[in-house]
Amino acid sequence: MSAAAAEAAQARRAPAAGSAPVIDLRRVNAVREAIQAGRLKQARRTTLGGNDAIAQAALEAGARFFGGYPITPSTEVLEYAARHIMGHGGSYLQMEDEIAGIAAAIGASLGGVKAFTATSGPGFSLKQENLGYACLVEVPLVVVNVMRGGPSTGGPTDPGQSDVMQARWGTHGDHPIVAIAPATVQECWEETVRAFNIAEKYRTPVILLPDAKVAQMKEPVLLPPLDLVPVVNRPYPSGAPEDYEAFGQTASGVPPLAPFGEGYRAHFTGLYHNRKGLPTKDVRLIDQLQKRIHAKLETKEARADILKTESFLAEDAEVLVVAYGITARAAKDAVLEARAQGVKAGLLRPITLWPSDAGAFAPHLARAKKVVVAELNLGQYRLEVERLACEAARAAGTPPPPVIGIHRVDMRLIAPRDIHQEIVR
């Protein structure tokens, strides 16, 4: 058995971790919170680049295969994997193209090894077909897409937030997707570990969506000791091999997934399939399959694991700013400035962009007199905020607040001043 497979097998036999991990990744600033609460007494202190933090977190979350292709501004992830992953008992391949990069990662994941790939806008477009395959075949996988400008080659080295909708709807067909946008290097690490845990626990691809600025900056980080990194593994079948249903109905909605070679044989196909994975034309089974892959991410537990929004001075906000990634950092300064002037401004920062966190947004949207959405595109997430605002208003029986966009696509960042002006206007 390969080292990576043996390690994965060992992890499955390890006793289940205690109910409360020291670090609860569902919380914003999870590591800092654990230190402040006195739960975490030791840590690794270092400075990292965003992309390095992502790659390091992937390996610390248990990733043992990387398949990729060089593309600015995500290449450091590939380079980090090239330096370190073999030393951890894993392997990597720089593939012949972007499509092959994600394909190889899916192949490795089906083999039973946690896997990831990394890319940026144009490469992300090329990966979309196989991303859809991973959704329907329910393959745990993390895709890192470092956002730059677009469409086309655009500005390869400059920041953008232009793949928000591509992350949501890039592949064809109705499909669930999880997309996470970190805003700091510390968060690059925390959210990558969380991305792997969601991918494994729910058998689904997760997209990590840092913008180029966050991926390229270097910041101090505090990381837990290796044995306290909260790692989750995919569900393993418990019954006899002949009863194994790789696409069966379970209480959680997530069927178990056995690595190849251990007797639990199954078929994996992008065709609509039955519980054993074999192609089917049974309309009832097809309907069940498609609805189940959505429903498994909508349970109470799944929502608690997946949705994550930071509320920054938003509790009584009349002017609500919505921003994510690097732009949210500008928004925080803008909100602080407005507060200093006595304006009741606050920020909602979706860390998980998809699925959107309607529950966290609703009370703030119902209270807000004005909503400002700032992002480095021409209004991709603003559409979602508008939808949520209308929904919240309908529920509250009030007219929806105006939703104003601050958008920039000239490769420069939105500055605190730009957002502050709009808050006080």
Partner 1 sequence: MNAPFVCSLEMPDLRRTQMRRNIWCEGCGLGNMQRSIQVALMRQLGRRLGVDYMDPAGVEAIKNNVAMVSGIGCTSRMPGHLDFNTVHTTHGRSLAFASGLKMARPELTVVLAAGDGDIFAIGGNHFIHAARRNLDMTLIVYDNHSYGMTGAQHSPTSPQGEVGASAPYGVFEPSFSLIDLAIGAGAGFVAQGAVTTLQEHQDQLDELIAEGLAHKGFSFINVLGFCHTGWGTRNKRAESFRYRQHIEQQIASVERWREMTAEERARLKPLGVIHRVARPDLQNTPGYADCLARSRKAVEAGREEVEAVSPQPETDLRAKRTSLRFAGSGGQGVISAGEIALAAAVRAGKNGVFMKNYGPEARGGEAYSDVTISDGEIHFPQSDRLDVLVALNQETFDKFRKEVAPDGRILANATAVRETYDDPRVIASPIGELLAREVRPPKRELGINILALALALDYFGLMSREAVTAAVMKSVGKKNPALNQKALATGFAEADRLKGL
Residues 80-99 that bind partner 1 (CB under 8 A): 83-88, 90-93, 95-97, 99
User: Is 41 near partner 1 (CB under 8 A)?
Assistant: yes
Of the candidate spans 78-86, 173-181, 249-257, 351-359, the one that interacts with partner 1 by CB under 8 A turns out to be 78-86
CA nearest to 351, candidates 197, 188, 231, 205: 188
Residue 338 and residue 423 in contact, taking contact as beta carbons nearer than 8 Å: yes
User: Is 261 near partner 1 (CB under 8 A)?
Assistant: yes
- Using CB under 8 A, count the residues that bind partner 1: 88
Interaction with partner 1 in 337-376: which residues (CB under 8 A)? 340
Of the candidate spans 191-199, 257-265, 352-360, 368-376, the one that interacts with partner 1 by CB under 8 A turns out to be 257-265
Interaction with partner 1 in 387-416: which residues (CB under 8 A)? 413, 415-416
User: Is 118 near partner 1 (CB under 8 A)?
Assistant: no
CA separation for the pair 145, 165 (Å, rounded):
12
How near is the Cβ of 87 to partner 1 at its closest, in Å?
3
Interaction with partner 1 in 204-233: which residues (CB under 8 A)? 213, 216-220, 222-223, 225
Question: Crossing angle for the helix pair 121-137 and 98-110, nearest 10 degrees?
Answer: 30
Query: Please, what's the largest Cα pairwise distance for the chain?
Result: 68
Residue 251, token pair as written in the block? 């209480």
Residue with tokens 């193209």: 97
CA separation for the pair 407, 425 (Å, rounded):
16
- Report how far apart the first and last C-alpha atoms of the chain are (Å, whole number): 64
Of the candidate spans 60-68, 281-289, 301-309, 352-360, the one that interacts with partner 1 by CB under 8 A turns out to be 60-68
For residue 273, the 8-state DSSP code is: B
Interaction with partner 1 in 4-23: which residues (CB under 8 A)? 4-5
Which CB sits closer to partner 1, 133 or 202? 133
What count of other Cβ atoms lies within 10 Å of the Cβ of residue 243? 10
Interaction with partner 1 in 125-154: which residues (CB under 8 A)? 129-130, 133
User: Is 248 near partner 1 (CB under 8 A)?
Assistant: no
Residue 308, token pair as written in the block? 């994550």
